Amino acid sequence: MAVKRTASEEKMQALGLVSDSDFVFHLPLRYEDETQIHHIADIYPGQVAQLEGVVENVAVSYGHRKQLTATFKDATGKISLRWIHFYGSQKAQLEKAGLIRIRGEVRGSSMWGYEIIHPKISKAGQSLPQTLTPVYPSTEGLTQPVLRKAILAALSRVDFKDTVPEEIKEKFHLPSLKESIFILHNPSQHENTYALLDKTHPAWQRIKFDELLAQQIALYLARQARTQLNAPKLTFDDTLLFDKVLKTFGLPLTAAQQRVIQEIKQDLLKPYPMHRLLQGDVGSGKTIVAALTAALVLQNHQQVAIMAPTEILAEQHFYKMKKWFEHTSIEVVWLSGSLKVKEKREALEKIQSGEAQLIIGTQALIQKGVEFANLALMIIDEQHRFGVGQRLSLSKKGEDSQLDIVPHQLNMSATPIPRTLAMSYLADVDVSIIDELPPGRQTILTKLMLNERRDELLNHLRVECQSGKQVYWVCPLVEESETLQLQTAVDTYQYIQEYLPDLKIGLLHGRMAAKEKAQVMQAFANRELAILVATTVIEVGVDVPNASIMVIEHAERFGLAQLHQLRGRVGRGDIASVCILLYQNPLSNTAKYRLKALHETNDGFEIARRDLEQRGPGEFLGLRQSGEQLLRFADVHSDANLVEKAREGAMLFLQHYPELAHQHVERWLKGKTDYLRS
């Protein structure tokens, strides 16, 4: 008969807590300091205070919203208490409560008085814990005491095995794992409270080090595994195709473009598949590098696929490739979700037979039914916009399981990844950087303008457009609703059309049919439209060199990387360009920081650095979306020094204790290593 689990056990299981070892490694998220009773005279804003005293003047007020208020008094002073959500009986309960203990965050100022909102109430006079109280990650319905009890029980049973060898522990002065874990679950009075709270305590350092060590080992193993695979065989004896494409492009490559092509070439000659990330700031000329890389492979009569995250971008690549491969025998084929059934069938047949050699498309490329004859290279543009799973799917389409052949992969991104991040998340990726813009580019001037001056701006644009300039007008982001955003775009379009009746205005948004979108883009590229009102569909990759003015409405709603990308749509030719950020007061501090950063610098790396500082690595890399958190304890940004050490430790570990190294990875990264391939 199956053993029936309690509701708490089921909840614990949902959190991944099954074995003793799971419980033991379920470490506190933070600690609460309940060891002392504070005095009202000593409290300060932001502090989580624990007070004992009496309640008086309990009242329900009906101002702006209904709330319950009271005064709380101890021998040293008074503060206010407030409840926004409360039960009808709560007033009477408080009135007769007598001496109580309360706990909560102090708000307000010494001048206007302090208050605690929704304080936690308990009986006064109960004995106080001697140590910090750990707070564990939990789930609804699973209380901290229950979880704490289960963890302490496991702690008393578990047989501790330290997977890190003595040699490494000594080299990096690591404290014992067993002791560290005990301290974290059960800190004694003697431990440094602040160090425990801000995770700088040696016990935390040990945990973080172990986690980073596991990650570095896994990355190293992933690289090793890749070198065991076979890549499609390529030769570069004949460069006719490459030369033809370069000739059609018609401009000399920048030194940086030439260098990265050499780096890629070296990879393509290796017996195992390339896994390279091509980074280059907005407008640095990644597309021609992609085309020339494709030419190197196509020359070998093998297929190349280019995948882009949006239809507009994919289509633009398609037109560019068609143009650059025009004087060659290469058949360029387009595949997207919006193709008609017949067109799609034809495209699929050509891809399967090998008649189509260069295939460009959206996510449609990884759908069922797409089969390649001999896919040797996949190029993924704006790679961070795809999930790891999606990228793996494309790779699988080119795999030949019998011969263990895996296609080469070139990822492109305009969002530079700072070094510590690249080191800890992308160690199995080689990075090439285009660190130079094509000649003749002028710095984009970025101006901040209050939204109230919109009409004044439109008057100015009238004059600019009459002299042949072209403008993007990006509509505000409306996070809550795509429909609302669409409506804003339509309204703005109508408003501008009425305000500037002599100018040709276009509208572009995500809900338009693919064909319509393409027509509008084409009209703008042909200079038939003076102003293109658009939603963020134009964020990535759109390349119309004559457009030189970018207006972003409600710029304060956009993220830093996004603003930089949008701004990068201008300044792509040799015309002086301006980016106008329209903003609405009042600005939050974060919004101010972002707008200031954008105003101050055009450098994508600097922007990325500031963005990472503000958002933290998970969000920066888009990992939160995938729901997978790779690192639970360490933070590659604030623990950068540990990353370096872990890297060194990982090499040592693998060289001398390969068996243990696997066990170590299993303990810390259970089943998450696939993500390290990204």
Q: Give contact residues for ligand ATP (rule: CB under 6 A).
A: 251, 253-254, 257, 280, 282-288, 414, 438, 541, 543, 545, 568, 572
Is 155 or 433 the residue whose CB approaches ligand ATP more closely? Answer: 433
Report DSSP letters for 439-455, one per residue: TT--PPEEEEEEGGGHH
Q: Please name the amino acid found at residue 23.
A: F
Residues in a beta bridge with 359:
305, 333
Least separation, in Å, of the C-beta of 565 and ligand ATP? 7
Q: Is residue 358 helix, strand or coil?
A: strand
Least separation, in Å, of the C-beta of 324 and ligand ATP? 10
Is 73 or 322 the residue whose CB approaches ligand ATP more closely? Answer: 322
Is 285 or 361 the residue whose CB approaches ligand ATP more closely? Answer: 285
Angstrom distance (rounded) from CA 673 to CA 664: 13
Residue 268 in tokens: 């393509």
Least separation, in Å, of the C-beta of 580 and ligand ATP? 19
Least separation, in Å, of the C-beta of 313 and ligand ATP? 8
Is 212 or 563 the residue whose CB approaches ligand ATP more closely? Answer: 563
Is 348 or 410 the residue whose CB approaches ligand ATP more closely? Answer: 410
User: How many C-beta atoms lie closer than 10 Å to residue 412's C-beta?
Assistant: 23
Angstrom distance (rounded) from CA 413 to CA 425: 15
Least separation, in Å, of the C-beta of 439 and ligand ATP? 6
Burial of 176 (0-12, 13-18, 19+ CB in 10 A): middle
Nearest by Cα to 151 from 191, 190, 181: 181
Burial of 376 (0-12, 13-18, 19+ CB in 10 A): buried
Start-to-end CA distance of the chain, whole Å, equals 44
Report DSSP letters for 86-112, one per residue: --TTHHHHHHT--EEEEEEEEEEETTT
Is 203 or 296 the residue whose CB approaches ligand ATP more closely? Answer: 296
Is 119 or 541 the residue whose CB approaches ligand ATP more closely? Answer: 541
Is 348 or 547 the residue whose CB approaches ligand ATP more closely? Answer: 547
DSSP 195: H
Angstrom distance (rounded) from CA 223 to CA 241: 32
Residue 50 in tokens: 């624990």
Least separation, in Å, of the C-beta of 473 and ligand ATP? 18
Least separation, in Å, of the C-beta of 282 and ligand ATP? 4
Q: Please name the amino acid found at residue 488.
A: T
Least separation, in Å, of the C-beta of 102 and ligand ATP? 55
Residue 79 in tokens: 């503060």
Least separation, in Å, of the C-beta of 509 and ligand ATP? 20
Angstrom distance (rounded) from CA 574 to CA 546: 8
Is 361 or 438 the residue whose CB approaches ligand ATP more closely? Answer: 438
